[in-house]
Amino acid sequence: MAKQTKWLAVAAVTVALLGGAAFWLAQTPTTEEQNASQEEEKILLADRTLQEISQVRMTGSQGEYTLENTGESNFSIEALGEAPVNETQLDLLLNCVQAPQVSRVVSQQPEDLEQYGLSEPQAQVEIRYTDDSSLTLLLGGEAPQSAGVYLKTGDGDTVYLMDSDWAETLSWPLEQLVNRTLGEGLSADEVGTVTLSGGELTQTVVLEPLEDGDSDSYPAVTHTMTQPEEQPANSETVSTILTTAMGLTASSADTINPTAEEMSQAGFDNPTAVLTMAYKDGEGSLTLRAGKVEDGQVWVMKDGVPVIYVIPVDSCPWVSVTYDQLISPKFADLELDELSEISVVTADETYLFTMDGEGENLTVSANIPQQLLENTQQAAQSPAETETE
């Protein structure tokens, strides 16, 4: 009887445990429910359309600038001057300004704002609306364990926590809104005359593209060098220069609307190298100027754009190209029976080779020893392998 009672007790405990587990599982939200709950917990500090925003004033440790609504949700930035706007970055910023959100409330009545970095905010965003109301966001320090950034509104006491990505966007300096694309997106085939100077070049080099039918003597060559002397250009080197220049994007915009002193400090008083590419259609050209080169980076300016960019020097082969690299290693691609005579002049002798006949009937005579003649005949059949001296 005691044994039966013991088994009944164990069974009762087991049922209770299973029932408790089932209840706990029923009450525990799934991962999807947790994510949905977290999304619902996001707190919107404002929810306006872009049409309702008249002005946004951004203030931070790296300066101040203002976005003005010019109508139809288009915003201008006077501080950029003639510098091109990065539309993608501007859209991201406006999305954050339009409906700023925080993840949770940290404190409703904080005794000390300094512990949140809000006694001296790192950045301030003042949003003015068309109905004459406004909202000011003050961004403070980072929360422990990269949980986010502390934030409060200008007229409120509550301290919130904002996701780091949102806070970073709302703290962007003006340089972050500059378009960093220097290339025109054209193909090398759309480029006409190319001019290179500076860098490793002691003389200005001018390259002209060979049109269809103009390259019979040099089938593997796409450009000919016209200055400082006329000769076929190295098509691989030229293609690399044109392709990288047309797709060039800077790592960062270092200075916007630089002063003469700032340009001098960046090395543009005497540019390291200059590349100019004229378009075949006659509709303008692209000129890039390289300033100082430092720690694997080169400071670059594009004519007509008042911005000093910083770019990895490896992305600008025109800065360090040498004269020898621009010369084609291939003189001609000719069959031996297309030649009638070859003259080789050395410091000591002049050798004359005379060809007669075609194909298998081709004979070569020369005023040199037979072994040297045979070696020369083999070399003449493979001119593409002959390097320029």
Instruction: Write the secondary structure of 241-284 as one string of H (helix), E (strand) and C (coil).
Output: HHHHHHCCECCEEEEECCCHHHHHHCCCCCCCEEEEEEECCCCC
- Contact (Cβ atoms closer than 8 angstroms) between residue 364 and residue 355: yes
Alpha-carbon gap, residue 327 to 371, rounded angstroms: 31
- Contact (Cβ atoms closer than 8 angstroms) between residue 254 and residue 266: yes
Alpha-carbon gap, residue 151 to 100, rounded angstroms: 11
Alpha-carbon gap, residue 41 to 35, rounded angstroms: 10
Percentage of the chain modeled with pLDDT above 70: 80
267: pLDDT strictly greater than 80: yes
Q: Which residues pair with 224 in a beta bridge?
A: 208, 232
CATH class of 188-326: mainly beta
CATH class of 44-177: alpha beta
The three-state secondary structure class of 353 is strand
| CA 204 to chain centroid | 28
pLDDT tens digit string along 198-229? 999 999 999 999 876 455 554 467 889 999 99
Q: What mean pLDDT value characterizes the chain?
A: 83
24: pLDDT strictly greater than 60: no
Write down the pLDDT at residue 34: 41
Give the residue from 346, 194, 178 showing the smallest Cα distance to 279: 194
Write down the pLDDT at residue 81: 93
Band the pLDDT of 185: cuts 50, 70, 90: confident
pLDDT tens digit string along 229-243? 999 999 899 999 999
pLDDT tens digit string along 337-383? 667 777 777 777 787 878 787 777 777 777 776 666 566 666 655 55
- Could you tell me the residue ranges of all domains in the chain? 44-177, 188-326, 336-385
Rounded to 10 degrees, what is the CA torsion of 50, 54, 60, 65? Answer: 110
Band the pLDDT of 134: cuts 50, 70, 90: very high
Give the residue from 60, 56, 50, 152 showing the smallest Cα distance to 105: 152
Write down the pLDDT at residue 357: 78
Any idea what the Cα angle at residue 323 is, between residues 309 and 237, rounded to 5°? Answer: 65
Percentage of the chain modeled with pLDDT above 90: 62
pLDDT tens digit string along 77-118? 999 999 999 999 999 999 999 999 999 999 999 989 999 999
